[in-house]
Amino acid sequence: MCKFGEGVEKKALSPKIIGEIKTKKKGERAIFILAQSNDKRVLPLMIELAQNSQNPKIQQQAIFWLGQRREPETKEALFKLYETLTDTKTKERVIFSLVQSRDKTTRKKLLSLLRKEKDERLREQLIFWLGNVRDPEITTALLKLFDESQDPKLKERLLRSLSLNASQDKRIKEKFISIIKNSRDTRLREIAVLQLSHVGGQEIIPLFRNLYFELTPEETKLKRYIIFALGNLIKYHQANQALIEIARQEKDPHLLKNIIFSLRRSKNKEAVKFLEEIINR
């Protein structure tokens, strides 16, 4: 470390420097250097700053650096802080700090927070970050929460979050397929179709094709999602065939335009021939 850094670190725990950290702009730089120290007296100071600093920037810095440390006390302090806070933005900072941990106990506590949290914005943050975690136990918990919840918005957020790990966990794909086949919630089916088109392969094309023909003329929006999903899979021959078959039977001119738009990106010979046929009508 440079001489300046050494000087600050040596003075880091003096009453004068502590006072500066709490009240002055240069405290942000000092708290960064504090965070690099292994001195046992630093951790209590960082926790105290996170809990009680009247300077929002200093408090945010303390919360962030606590999340980078490995001592169990840091996670306990952050969870206690979260329970006492009323400011949503600061709570978001605490969530971000906690999700940096690879500790299973911390993740389970975050799931517990999610179940209790009433603020939609904070729930969304918790769902997003937990969805990024490649942990089968977390996936199990999120899938269970999806099944238990009666809140449509929460279920939508859970689906989007789960999709982040769908390529690694077949249970998530299976959940999407189950929703497409069995759910009565049109919005959830739309999300499942869209997300599955990004993580599934050609094996899901027959599912999309069959679903399209089962829909009523009134279910136009879901039909659009299926057309778009098949367009995402246009590199597969089966997707081209499905879109052509749908186009030949579709009477809605707007949906037909959507199909043609999807096929325009295809290099498939059958698709090119079909488009030429449309042009020459």
In a domain, residue 195? The reply is no
Task: Determine the Cα–Cα distance for residues 196 and 208; give it in Å rounded to an integer.
Answer: 10
Task: Give the residue from 65, 100, 135 where a domain finishes.
Answer: 100
The whole-number pLDDT of residue 146 equals: 94
Same domain, 13 and 95: yes
19 plus 106 within the same structural domain: no
Domain-ending residue, one of 66, 100, 134:
100
Residue 221 token pair:
């929006």
Q: Which of 215, 133, 139, 208 is nearest to 177 (CA)?
A: 208
Same structural domain, 17 and 75: yes
Q: For the CA atoms of the chain, what is the radius of gyration?
A: 26
What are the CA-CA distances from residue 84 to residues 108, 176, 205, 280 (Å)? 20, 38, 50, 70
Q: What is the pLDDT along the chain (281 residues), one digit of tens a residue?
A: 333 344 444 444 555 555 556 555 566 677 777 777 777 778 888 888 888 888 888 888 889 988 888 888 889 999 999 999 989 999 999 999 998 877 888 988 999 999 899 999 999 999 999 988 888 999 999 999 999 999 999 999 999 999 988 888 899 999 999 999 999 999 999 999 999 998 878 999 999 999 999 999 999 999 999 999 999 999 999 999 999 999 999 999 999 999 999 999 898 999 999 998 888 77
* 170 and 110 within one domain: yes
Is 188 within a domain? no
Say whether both 118 and 80 belong to one domain: no
Question: Which range marks the domain in which residue 162 is found?
Answer: 102-179
Provide, for the chain, the percentages of residues in helix, strand and coil under a 3-state DSSP scheme, each rounded to the nearest 5.
75, 0, 25
Which residue matches tokens 């089962």? Answer: 214
Verify that 10 and 75 share a domain, yes or no.
yes
pLDDT at 164: 87
Q: Does 80 share its domain with 115?
A: no
Residue-level pLDDT at 191: 94
Statement to judge: residues 3 and 84 lie in one domain: yes
pLDDT given at position 123:
92
Alpha carbon distances (Å) from 78 to 89, 130, 180: 14, 17, 40
Count helices and strands in the chain by DSSP H and E runs: 18, 0
Question: Of 115, 144, 179, which closes a domain?
Answer: 179
- Domains in the chain: how many in total? 3
Is residue 190 assigned to a domain? no
Do residues 113 and 72 share a domain? no
Same domain, 2 and 34: yes
Quick one: which of 97, 169, 86 has its CA closest to 126? Answer: 97
